[in-house]
């Protein structure tokens, strides 16, 4: 190959590179998006009319009524999301979260062998059905600063799945009142549990 052929090949490569660079510069000039006057995104927020009264949120039923009308089978199904971090059997090990056996009437942040967050330790008191309901609905709101990463179950129907209408509870009979074992989550009932 003589130098004339080599010059033609190098000139063709150089011309292609120059043509690509020119196209890139031209496309950038033609298709440049305009810079926003104010950086960021606009978020559309639904406006509420100032003159009309806001609709009152529906008042929740008392926890006792919701528990009495709940379905144990559906509750077990709803609690499957909890099994990722908790155990429910007596003497079960602590996982990412503490064991939940006998949690009602147990002191908060008192499961042996589990390292609770400072916020949970500072909460104090004993777990009641109402406290558990509020905590499961929104853990970060009930105990600000908790280490629990779960966002919660905000809807009552998620936390207390109801029996289907006209369908009897387990054993073929309707249950209108909680028994001692249901109120205590498996531990021996205390005098305060009996209604």
Integer Cα distance of 179 and 4 in angstroms: 101
DSSP three-state, residue 126? strand
Integer Cα distance of 78 and 159 in angstroms: 7
Mind listing the domains of the chain with CATH numbers? 63-166 (1.10.760.10)
Integer Cα distance of 174 and 172 in angstroms: 7
Specify the pTM. Answer: 0.55
Percent of the chain with pLDDT strictly greater than 70: 73
pLDDT tens, position by position, 138-171: 889 899 988 888 888 888 777 776 665 544 444 4
Give the pair of three-digit tokens for residue 16: 């292609």
pLDDT tens, position by position, 8-62: 999 999 999 999 999 999 999 898 888 878 877 777 777 766 655 555 555 667 8
Integer Cα distance of 115 and 31 in angstroms: 57
């Amino acid at each position: 190959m003589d130098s004339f052929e080599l010059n033609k090949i190098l000139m063709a490569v150089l011309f292609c590179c120059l043509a690509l660079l020119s196209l890139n510069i031209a496309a950038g000039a033609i298709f440049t998006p305009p810079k926003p006057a104010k950086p960021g995104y606009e978020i559309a927020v639904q406006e509420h009319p100032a003159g009309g009264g806001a609709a009152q949120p529906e008042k929740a039923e008392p926890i006792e009524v919701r528990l009495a009308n709940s379905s144990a089978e559906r509750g077990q199904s709803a609690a499957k999301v909890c099994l990722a971090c908790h155990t429910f059997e007596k003497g079960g090990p602590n996982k990412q979260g503490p064991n939940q056996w006998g949690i009602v009437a147990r002191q908060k942040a008192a499961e042996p062998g589990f390292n609770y967050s400072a916020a949970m330790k500072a909460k104090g008191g004993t777990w009641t059905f109402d406290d558990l309901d509020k905590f499961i609905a929104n853990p970060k709101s009930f105990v600000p600063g908790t280490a629990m990463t779960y966002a919660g179950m905000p809807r009552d129907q998620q936390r207390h799945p109801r029996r289907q209408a006209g369908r009897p509870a387990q054993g073929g009979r309707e249950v209108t009142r909680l028994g001692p074992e249901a109120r205590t989550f498996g531990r021996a009932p205390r005098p305060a549990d009996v209604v």
